[in-house]
Structure 1
Amino acid sequence: MTQTDVAPNPRPERSIDIYRRALSWLDAQLPSGWTVSSDRPRSPAAPNRLLITAPDGESVSYAIVASRGVLSGDVARIAAELSDSDRGFVCAHYLSEPVRRQLDGHGISYADATGNLNLVAPRPAIWVRNRGADADPWRGPGRPSGVLTGEPSDRVVRALADHVGEVSVPELIKLSGASTGAAYRVVEVLLERELLTRLPRGPVTDVRWAHMLRAWAADRKVCPTRGFAAPDGVDALRTRLAGANAGVGYAVSGIGATDYAAAAVLEVYADDVDEFAAALDLRPVDHGADVVVATPWSAVVFDRMQYRNGLRCVAPAHVYADLVSGPFRHPEAAEYQLTALTADEAAWRRPLHRGR
């Protein structure tokens, strides 16, 4: 297997151009004496069949599937559309690593315009492999970045984690409050990273919520925090918060929002840190804080909160993500929370209610 530098050529858009670019990589990697040919449909369509011929004249035929973009959810459909006796050759402007792994798993050959290539057949025996780009070189502004950052990601991830059941993307948009374009982009990123399953142009049917929350936690920007001292101690502060005026916007997270252990430090989000501190007579400190207040990047921390001992706490899924990484990180408590969430999903994942 070789790795080839990818020149910043214009992104191929027509099916025939995608095929020609992919074929140029295949032709360059074929062993000496092997040849490649195809039928000649009218441009801009790609050919239907690819023929690879060995030096002794024996050949193998592939059904060509040319597409500008292939997502993880498309691979099973492509495999199902191939007959048991047929071999497939997928070509696209770029094939992500998860998509390539799925194609490998289904025994489908492929090549993209960046040089990622895998062609295999048992007779005549051939295996040609090349490594191209590790990221889409033509990804522009507004395209999915491949990472789960920003408020749209926060909203979509939380909506998928907090609810159970098949959900269409339009339903997910309403559920999450994310904009249409942003929601579709986040779903595409989650699909590319194999964190959910979606029918082709259809609903999301399954969510790997634990893996999704870990990935989201790792990608998020860390919220800024400030440390305070509670004049009468943390226990007295919890009592005050349980009876506090509803106008004080806060949500407890970290260990204090779990059953893992008694929390010596109160970790909390506040929509206005100064207002929160003033309302509770908290004193700013540089060291030895027993109250850590984070300023959230997204208001999603206040969505679907839970109540524990009279305190408003972020949703269980969000608690887990906070324990995985960020200002409230605690690996042992994160694993404890994951075990609890896995043991009783019905206690925190809400079924989707659809109007008739």
Structure 2
Amino acid sequence: MAHQDSPDTIEAAGPKPERPIDIYRRAAVCLEACLPLGWTMSSDRPRSPEAPQRLVVTSPEGESVSFAIVASRGVLSGDVARIAAELSDSDRGFVCAHYLSDPVRRQLDQHGISYADATGNLTLVASRPAVWVRNRGADADPWRGPGRPSGVLTGEPSDRVVRALADHSGEMTVPELIKLSGASTGATYRVVEVLMEREFIRRIPRGGITEVRWEQMLRAWAADRKMCATRRFAAPDGLEIVRNQLAERIDITYALSGVGATDYADSDVLELYADDPDDFAGALGLRPVDRGGDVVVAIPWSPVVFDRMDRARSLRSVAPSHVYADLLSGPFRDQEAAEHMRARLTADEAHWRRPIH
């Protein structure tokens, strides 16, 4: 078995590679420098800016092993299981990124996936021909300065940017996104970088956002964001009276969500957002309860729940994108209704995503 374990760190230099082809080339340089004597590597010729599809490593005896190349700007811990699932049972993966953190590298090792980043972190393993190559690179992302994004979609800027991207279609510039979302300039650029690293959006270098993978983005946002506190209330006169009151009054600020904001099924519980649950309950004559209840009121972390509201059965509801996220995770979650909502949103994007131009 050929074995190469280099203690030397290949220092990152120059600008961070952005295009898939550049990410692969930097990773390939690291791998070629660490291969045992007599071993060679090759790949198919890609069409720039895409990376090659396959890497072939050949032993001195002429025996070869092939790897499927996965080039990504950034890989997070939550992405590893997806990458492993997308590889066929008989295939081997070779993940390339500008930087792979220690937790991500450990997960890739556990899944038997080879990898290399532009700082020199590298593992390549195969059983036939038997080869094991390993190298130590940087312990921290050299391109991430103080205050740069953590990779997690939490906080009001993330709420605003994710919702604005999901709710609109068409190519948009970051200044346009800043205006649509209402987030600050710095925060918007930071969230955009996280979304690019997680490959939920595509952006021309220093240019506009050309593609939004809204379903994957909303799933990640639903999983990352904080859980809202909720209050429960009973409706002494029944839910129909409450619905009628909400349909008639414009002085009460609320946004319906959950199953009741969809056409999936009738709900015997009214689920909604309100900034002040006690004021909301007082205006409608609701009685607080510890368990059960007819009305569940969530206190929103950010006012984005009231942006671009929709109508559901004469009631104001959060936007369809927000309904989907709430059904995936949080106090209003319902997996079957979420799948129904996903199918509906996918089937008719033009109905709920507003053209940017």
* Structure 1 residue 15: Cα displacement: 3.0
TM-score (norm 1): 0.69
- The 3-state SS of whatever aligns with 1:15 is coil
Q: Give distance in 1, aligned partners of 2:3 and 2:73.
A: 24
* 1:248 equivalenced with 2:252 (yes/no): yes
Match of 2:43 in 1: none
User: Equivalent of 1:113, from 114, 119, 122?
Assistant: 119
* Paired position in structure 2 for 1:301: 305
Q: Does 1:314 align with 2:318?
A: yes
Alpha-carbon separation, structure 2, partners of 1:129 and 1:115 = 11
Does residue 228 of the first structure (1) align with residue 233 of the second (2)? yes
1:327–1:134 CA distance, 2 compared to 1 (3 A) = farther
**Aligned partner of 1:154 among 159, 167, 187:** 159
Instruction: Indicate if the aligned counterparts of 2:258 and 2:323 stay in contact, CA closer than 8 A.
Output: yes
The 1:134/1:322 distance shift into structure 2, 3 A limit, reads: farther
User: CA–CA distance in 2 between the matches of 1:6 and 1:222?
Assistant: 44
**Is 1:266 matched with 2:265?**
no
Relative to 1, partners in 2 of residues 1:336 and 1:144: Cα closer, same or farther, differing over 3 Å? same
- C-alpha displacement at 1:135, in angstroms? 8.6
1:95-121 Cα shifts (integer Å, max 9, x gaps):
5779xx9xxxxxxx95432513669xx
- Quote the Cα distance in structure 2 between the aligned partners of 1:342 and 1:6: 49
* Contact 1:2/1:131 (<8 A) preserved: no
Deviations 1:181-228 (A, max 9, x none): 111111111111111111122111111111111111011111110111
TM-aligned CA deviation for residue 266 of structure 1: 0.3
Q: SS where residue 201 of structure 1 aligns? A: coil
Q: Mark the structure with the bigger radius of gyration.
A: 1
The answer (yes or no) to whether the contact 1:111–1:118 under 8 Å persists in 2 is: no
Give the structure 2 partner of residue 71 of structure 1: 73
Instruction: Find the counterpart in structure 2 of residue 77 from structure 1.
Output: none
Structure 1 residue 308: Cα displacement? 2.0
Q: CA shift at 1:180, angstroms?
A: 1.2
When the two chains are superposed, the root-mean-square deviation of aligned CA atoms in Å is 4.2
Is the contact made by 1:270 and 1:296 (CA closer than 8 Å) also made in structure 2? yes
Mark the CA change 1:144 to 1:227 in structure 2 (over 3 Å): closer, same or farther. Answer: same
The match for 1:323 is 327
Q: Which amino acid aligns with 1:243?
A: E
* Inter-CA distance 33–261: structure 2 relative to 1 (3 Å threshold): closer
Distance 1:261 1:273 in 2: 25
Question: Identity percentage over the alignment?
Answer: 60
* Cα distance, 1:149–1:261 mapped onto 2, change above 3 Å: same
- State the partner residue of 2:82: none
Q: Contact 2:6–2:34 at 8 Å: present in 1 too?
A: no
- Equivalent position of 2:193 in the other structure: 188
Bigger CA drift: 136-145 or 160-169? 136-145
2:233 aligns to what SS in structure 1?
A: strand
Corresponding residue number in structure 2 for 1:282: 286
Q: 1:3 to 1:225 in 2, by over 3 A?
A: farther
Structure 2 portions without partners, runs of 5+: 18-25, 41-58, 62-71, 75-95, 109-114
TM-score by length of 2: 0.69
1:19-168 to 2 correspondence within 5 Å?
29-32=34-37, 71=73, 94-95=99-100, 111-113=117-119, 115-116=121-122, 129-130=133-134, 136=140, 139=144, 141-168=146-173
Aligned residues: 288
Give the counterpart letter for 2:185 in structure 1: T
Structure 1 residues 204 and 22, CA gap change in structure 2 (3 angstroms): closer
2:14 maps to which residue? 15
